[in-house]
Amino acid sequence: MPSKSRETALSYLEGFKTLSPSIFLAFLAPTAIHRFAPASLSPPEPMSPKAFASHLDKLQEVLAEFPVFPKEIFDNEEKGQVTIWATSKAKFKEECKDDGLTEEEWAYEGEYIFIFTLDETKERIVDIVEFLDSKGTERLRELMVRARKNLQVKRD
């Protein structure tokens, strides 16, 4: 039977399918912190739940979905920690794409390691460290810039 910590962490990751802030916020303690790593990527500062929700709103501008698929799960129920090695597939909104890239080039697949620390109830996350795919993240950033530019041109 899956642990409560594992269920909470997996439910949190389900939120990436729609990028809906409300799904993530349902599993975050009010004082939770979401941190990105490694430092070599110059990641954003650690985010509170409110800041993370704002981050998701920005992603929703150009992404239709960003599902995350767990590959391996390491669960330490006693300590309230879950580590998940995962992959993802970002799907950009059609209106954000241009003909300068093929569909294959617009497709982004990444790899991540999430480390979740939960509160004593195992129902709320108090800390997340998200290790990003260094090489892949640079590519995703380029695609995001291009998609935002395309969207702005279409709005003007």
CATH no. for residue 32?
3.10.450.50
Note the pLDDT of residue 154: 82
Domain total of the chain: 1
93 within 8 A of 109, measured Cβ to Cβ: no
Note the pLDDT of residue 122: 95
DSSP 92-155: E-GGG--TTS-HHHH-EEEEEEEEEEE-TTSSSEEEEEEE--HHHHHHHHHHHHHHHHHHHHHH
Note the pLDDT of residue 155: 81
Segments forming the whole domain that contains residue 90: 4-155
Note the pLDDT of residue 6: 95
Say if residue 9 is exposed, middle or buried (CB neighbours under 10 Å; 0-12, 13-18, 19+): buried
Residue-wise pLDDT tens digits, 37-61: 999 999 999 999 999 999 999 999 9
As a whole number of angstroms, the distance between CA 48 and CA 19 comes to: 16
Residue 135 — pLDDT band, cuts 50, 70, 90? confident
DSSP 5: H
Residue-wise pLDDT tens digits, 97-123: 999 999 999 999 999 999 999 999 999
Note the pLDDT of residue 94: 94
Scored b (16 or more CB within 10 A) or e, 82-104 reads bbbebebebebeeebbeeeeeee
Residue 156 — pLDDT band, cuts 50, 70, 90? confident
